């Protein structure tokens, strides 16, 4: 929504899934996050991460343990899939604020504007972001560790390998142009296999994880298509891999994998969650 604040119009993206995917009050949300973080994790300067985006009761342990192992820089570019079908295939917000129960997070206007001006594919489009949960659920974890961090929200939908690679390189070029290579983390928001038996989901997911660990976006797409892997955020992950390799990333580590069945104990139809750190 657009508000008049201190005499100027401000775009504020209100929470869409607070009270659904995560707890709605600041105190309860902070306590919820503290159940999932790893206070003993050794932090590294990462260039990219893969984080899940389901309800915290299902994927919070993976997200928390993964984000605990990286230093949160000044800006996080968050790439998420388009679950709503609204807006452009590839959309970005370049200004405004995202609100969560833990407070407001500003968009890094300088970097977002530079990315948009450098891109042949990204469009300025609020509608794709308004109800999209895949970006929103990552933000409270960032706020917990670094309240002052800024974000660049990007929603990515259907495309091909060449398009995904081009967008990744457009993002990396903008980061380099602003000399922000050490100030930006690229987050790809994705769940893994959806609604298949536990053993089958794990087998498929580790085929996809293997490609990510090899930093091979082409292999990832091939495996998704040949094995029919219902990984909702494959486009954000492919874009992220293309981007961070341009920024010098050359290794990756799986921090944690589990499924919804590990929480519910119903293994007949699960969703997989992977947390991966790349540097």
Reported as a pLDDT band with limits 50, 70 and 90, residue 9 is low
Q: What is the pTM of this model?
A: 0.95
Q: What is the pLDDT of residue 206?
A: 98
- Cβ(150)–Cβ(99) below 8 Å: no
Q: Which two tokens stand for residue 175?
A: 């980061």
The closest alpha carbon to 257, from 271, 274, 270, 269, belongs to 274
Query: What string of H, E and C letters represents the secondary structure of the chain?
Result: CEEEECCEEEEEECCCCECCCECCCHHHHHHHHHCCCCCCCCCECCCEEEECCCCHHHHHHHHHHHHCCECCCCEEEEEEECCCCCCCCEEECCCCEEEECCEEEEECHHHHHHHHHHCCCCEECCHHHHCCHHHHCCHHHHHHHCCCCEEEEEEECCCCHHHHHHHHHHHHHHHHHCCCCCCEEEEEECCCCEEECHHHHHHHHHHHHHHHHCCCHHHHHHHHHHHCCCCCCHHHHHHHHHHHHHCCCCCEEEEEEEECHHHHCCCCCEEEEEEEEEC
Quick: pLDDT tens for 68-93.
999 999 999 999 999 999 999 999 99
Quick: pLDDT tens for 111-151.
999 999 999 999 999 999 999 999 999 999 999 999 999 99
Q: What domains can you pick out in the chain, each with its CATH number?
A: 2-278 (3.40.830.10)
- Cβ(196)–Cβ(269) below 8 Å: yes
Mean predicted confidence (pLDDT) in 258-273: 98
Q: Dihedral sign for Cα 155, 135, 200, 216, please.
A: positive
Q: Distance of alpha carbon 151 from its chain centroid, rounded?
A: 11
């Amino acid at each position: 929504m657009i508000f008049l604040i201190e005499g100027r119009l401000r775009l504020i993206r209100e929470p869409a899934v607070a009270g659904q995917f995560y707890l709605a009050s600041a105190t309860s949300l902070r306590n919820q996050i503290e159940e999932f973080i790893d206070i003993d994790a050794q932090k590294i300067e990462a260039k990219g991460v893969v984080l899940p985006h389901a309800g915290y009761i299902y994927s919070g342990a993976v997200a928390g343990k993964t984000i605990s192992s990286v230093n949160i820089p000044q800006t996080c570019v968050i790439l998420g899939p388009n679950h709503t079908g609204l807006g452009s295939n590839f959309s970005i917000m370049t200004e405004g604020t995202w609100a969560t129960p833990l407070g407001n997070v500003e968009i890094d206007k300088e970097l977002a504007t530079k990315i948009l001006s450098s891109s042949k594919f990204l469009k300025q489009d609020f509608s794709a972001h308004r109800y999209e949960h895949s970006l929103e659920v990552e933000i409270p974890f960032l706020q917990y560790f670094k309240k002052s961090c800024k974000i660049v929200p990007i929603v990515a939908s259907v495309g091909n390998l060449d398009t995904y690679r081009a967008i990744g390189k457009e993002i990396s070029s903008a980061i380099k142009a602003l000399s922000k290579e050490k100030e930006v983390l690229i987050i790809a928001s994705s769940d893994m296999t959806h609604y298949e038996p536990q053993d089958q989901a794990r087998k498929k997911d580790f085929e996809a994880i293997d490609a990510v660990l090899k930093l091979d976006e082409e292999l990832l797409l091939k495996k998704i298509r040949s094995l029919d892997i219902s990984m909702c955020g494959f486009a954000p992950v492919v874009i992220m891999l293309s981007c961070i390799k341009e920024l010098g990333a050359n290794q990756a580590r799986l921090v944690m994998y589990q499924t919804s069945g590990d929480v519910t104990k119903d293994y007949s139809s699960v969703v997989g969650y992977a947390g991966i750190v790349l540097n």
